[in-house]
Structure 1
């Protein structure tokens, strides 16, 4: 480790920046986020708008006043446009023994300015010893995507309560256990959701020794491709103590669950409800009452034919905190993967999601006449087994037999199969291509667009297998 990372305390600090150009302006913009007093030493001129941008926040001084400014400075940054000014500024800073950073001259630096991730009280700095600042920024951006936006607010709350916690929980081991719960459990999730008052109350309750209940997240896993998982979903999978997951969740996403977390499959398939819905509710509630961080991982989006609403009601009725993390619906993901726009100004002015499977089995009682109207897209979930009846009902209600259709199995995965044809031939398309599901049916003019089907004539069907 060539560099030792450290953080300057900027309360009552004075810093000096040499230069009046764009580089100096960028450094001042960064320093202005702190409470430091900033003196900008310039030569003959300063970039237009520089002084106005930081009016009341900086002091602009000529080079003749560099000495007094450096004499009280915590550090200095040299960002001059002219080489002569750069050399002169370095010489002055060395005379006063001030830690120095010289922009784009790492060999002359006492310290480098890292790429900074700012979350209020939580600050992360990524340095590269000046050798690869672009790479450092790339690392920072990846961390930013994983770190909740309200992390700083949680840290501020923890800092404010720290003296009370120390007084209430004198035992060091018990205090560590408290902070583990407070900063990773229910209080933390409430803070991340913007419910800071509730987060503080949860911390105070735990401080007084009340039972530390867990929290449940209903998380959408998306259509299957792990790269389509949301950032928040990934964070929760890597923090969870236990994950209850559906059959439609891809193996690649299951592999992203924290290694030491319990993984409980509770999936259902046609005619095989391995775990009844009521039992799933009980499992979620029991795990949360044990103080665990619980994730209920569901394919697609939890609230689109995923029974997420039923689970949320049951969890909340039990007095357990629950949050919903939306996922990319399989309808959106599969259609996009196949190049099918679900809406289109020339072909579909409305979009309807329906289930092809009734609660007690068979075909659901749908408004077939409404679904049969032209210039709309009907997207059917769980419709493989009832596809013959669906096609018959739509045609009987007035939908043209040659209406384009698409059937997408295992959408966005390496095993994806896309089948295109017409409504009258929908059952044959499914049978001939051995479609078993999970699959999505897309019915409407958009399924016949050339860039979607890849075929000039749709009669007889067209099959395209996609491999990653």
Structure 2
């Protein structure tokens, strides 16, 4: 179950905590810090809860739980050691449409209390939905080391200036750039040094300065093969700074989820026989948004300079004086091979690797088939699903052995990755039998024998039994083999 994240304003609102032990005490402390009006219902209280009751910080209902305790409260926390009592509290709270948290019992709870990183007024909450609280705490510990304590004062300073910032920068793009300068520039640095007065003065000066003219730009970003964990840190930063994202069809939804929420997303993907946007239309969109002063991310699957037309787009931008930069991505051949357990090169079997695109008949006709059919090399064929028969025909005609092994990787690095194996002799039939669809990458060569032995990600390869260890024994050059033999002797 996916929880809806929510930050509740409990200031001066009634909250009931059922239970008077150590766990209840921790929950009460957090509620008091949030300004809640807390009532604790329990026969007995810890010494700290007793002190808070004497001081008037909490109200105490002594005795056994009664349904009337739930009247007029906003939230309920059940923190007793009696699961039957906790279940009764949860049931009655649900009937009154009051959110309830049963400590360490996600099944009975209608809301979860997250692990919290407090940089008030900035608060980061982490939840595992009650499934793994210790994991949420581990994530909190890691984030604690990354988030400086000066973020709280920085947030307060931004809050004080918010109305003036909006008046000074009514346009969203200009206002965003001001905030980025505020949060990443001298003001933030002064707060980290413990100099709040100088930080406030620097912020005032920034508000009075004339806004710099906005100049649009384009960042060409390689999104990688689909797994969001393979996106580079620079790519992630560019996505979070973008005003507009022009993305290909093959960019995964998980990668797009990492982008800033208010960035405009435009799909410009091209697929064989179904072009959403021509290259000229993509160029026009890049120019339109960059000239409007926006920061544009051109997000491409894999790497933009490997069959991604990145060079064409940079030439266009340069011809029109649009500033640009490039953030490389992990190309499909590297990622799919790694996730299929297939090394693209191997000391004994493949001294070279060739990247080939075969998405249409014209591209197949321009290839050097005599060179591609040579042994002891690996072919990594992009966008080749539709042209497998022609690929097979040309390779066989130019001398590649029918027994040459292949691994066809569909949706490489993603949760639904599939690997289909076989030989060049039955390549089209194997692909058809398993209904392989784009995106898929073909790895053809002696190294494909390792797909079965070294597989580590996703389901095992589909298809015929691959080469045995005996068949895949090293084929070292004579000199190296002789040296190895002497060492063994």
For 1:368, the equivalent position in structure 2 comes to 369
Q: Deviations over 1:141-165 (max 9, x none)?
A: 6569xxxxxxxxxxxxxxxxxxxxx
For 1:215, the equivalent position in structure 2 comes to 217
Partners of 2:379 and 2:228 in 1: how far apart? 26
Q: How do residues 177-326 of structure 1 correspond to structure 2 at under 5 angstroms?
A: 180-181=176-177, 184=180, 211-326=213-328
Partners of 1:335 and 1:295 in 2: how far apart? 27
Structure 1 238/361 Cα, relative in aligned 2: closer, same or farther at 3 Å?
same
Q: Does the 8 Å CA contact 1:362/1:386 hold for their aligned counterparts?
A: no
Structure 1 143/215 Cα, relative in aligned 2: closer, same or farther at 3 Å?
farther
- Report how many aligned residue pairs link the two structures: 302
Partners of 1:334 and 1:448 in 2: how far apart? 15
Q: CA deviation at 1:180?
A: 4.8
Partners of 1:398 and 1:425 in 2: how far apart? 16
Partners of 1:334 and 1:238 in 2: how far apart? 27
- SS at structure 1 position matched to 2:314: helix
Q: Does the 8 Å CA contact 1:448/1:458 hold for their aligned counterparts?
A: yes
5+ residue gaps in structure 2? 1-28, 31-123, 125-136, 149-163, 185-208, 456-460, 468-489
For 2:340, the equivalent position in structure 1 comes to 338
For 1:432, the equivalent position in structure 2 comes to 433
Q: CA deviation at 1:269?
A: 0.7
Partners of 1:245 and 1:179 in 2: how far apart? 25
Structure 1 280/143 Cα, relative in aligned 2: closer, same or farther at 3 Å?
farther
Structure 1 288/351 Cα, relative in aligned 2: closer, same or farther at 3 Å?
same
RMSD of Structure 2 on Structure 1 (CA): 4.1
Partners of 1:379 and 1:240 in 2: how far apart? 33
Q: CA deviation at 1:343?
A: 0.9
- SS at structure 2 position matched to 1:327: coil
Q: How do residues 9-408 of structure 1 correspond to structure 2 at under 5 angstroms?
A: 138-139=142-143, 173-174=167-168, 180-181=176-177, 184=180, 211-358=213-360, 361=362, 363-408=364-409
Structure 1 143/231 Cα, relative in aligned 2: closer, same or farther at 3 Å?
farther
After TM superposition, the score normalised by the length of structure 1 is 0.56
Partners of 1:242 and 1:351 in 2: how far apart? 36
5+ residue gaps in structure 1? 3-125, 127-132, 145-169, 189-206, 460-468
Q: Does the 8 Å CA contact 1:335/1:342 hold for their aligned counterparts?
A: yes
Q: CA deviation at 1:225?
A: 0.8
Structure 1 276/454 Cα, relative in aligned 2: closer, same or farther at 3 Å?
closer
Q: Does the 8 Å CA contact 1:215/1:322 hold for their aligned counterparts?
A: yes
Q: Deviations over 1:277-335 (max 9, x none)?
A: 01101101111111111111110011110111111111121111111111111111111
Q: Does the 8 Å CA contact 1:268/1:275 hold for their aligned counterparts?
A: yes
Partners of 2:298 and 2:353 in 1: how far apart? 28
Q: Does the 8 Å CA contact 1:377/1:444 hold for their aligned counterparts?
A: yes
Q: Does the 8 Å CA contact 1:212/1:291 hold for their aligned counterparts?
A: yes
For 1:457, the equivalent position in structure 2 comes to 465
- SS at structure 2 position matched to 1:306: coil
- SS at structure 1 position matched to 2:386: coil
Partners of 2:144 and 2:222 in 1: how far apart? 26
After TM superposition, the score normalised by the length of structure 2 is 0.54
